[in-house]
Amino acid sequence: MRMSGVDHIHAGTVVGKLEGDPLMVRGFYNTLLLTELKVNLAEGIFFDMSWASLRKCVPVASGGIHCGQMHQLLYYLGDDVVLQFGGGTIGHPDGIQSGATANRVALEAMVLARNEGRDYVAEGPEILRTAAATCAPLKTALDLGKILLF
């Protein structure tokens, strides 16, 4: 798809409804984003690749993802990704704006923790709870997430 000029494509997630093997998903993302790849069988890269000046294709993650998984999403998928929170935004009990606010505050809390050098993966739930103490939409979303299963 990258060679045909696609600028973004769903490339899998490691959490949510469309979860996949973390290493294989990393391989998909690397194929879309990197200029040079070396053989990495664990990630499904079976030969060296050079994309030369071919533009990258931004991976999209969706399918049952929500703000309560933000630490996992950031860890596994990195910064160069479109996080498409459909039901995780629209399904917020207080409306779409509250859902969007919850997602944004969760993302910013995780990025800040990561940039401060914290172990945001291990501390993720606590970081989210701390952020939710000053963000009612995030608190509501996290409380709702405890009863939702995908």
Q: Is residue 149 one of the residues assigned to a domain? A: no
Burial grade of 50 (CB within 10 A; 0-12, 13-18, 19 or more): exposed
Q: Is residue 84 one of the residues assigned to a domain? A: yes
Q: Is residue 52 one of the residues assigned to a domain? A: yes
Considering the chain, what is the average pLDDT of its residues?
Answer: 92
Domain boundaries, position 76: 2-144
Number of domains in the chain: 1
Q: Is residue 83 one of the residues assigned to a domain? A: yes
Model confidence at 1, in pLDDT bands (50, 70, 90)?
confident
Q: Is residue 150 one of the residues assigned to a domain? A: no
Q: Is residue 107 one of the residues assigned to a domain? A: yes
pTM of the predicted model as reported, rounded to 2 decimal places: 0.86
Per residue in 58-95, is it b (16+ CB within 10 Å) or e — as a string? bbbbbbbbbbbbbbbbbbbbeeebebebebbbeebeee
Total residue length of the chain: 150
Q: Is residue 112 one of the residues assigned to a domain? A: yes
Tens of pLDDT along 68-113? 999 999 999 999 999 999 988 998 999 999 999 999 999 999 999 9
- CATH code of the domain covering residue 112: 3.20.20.110
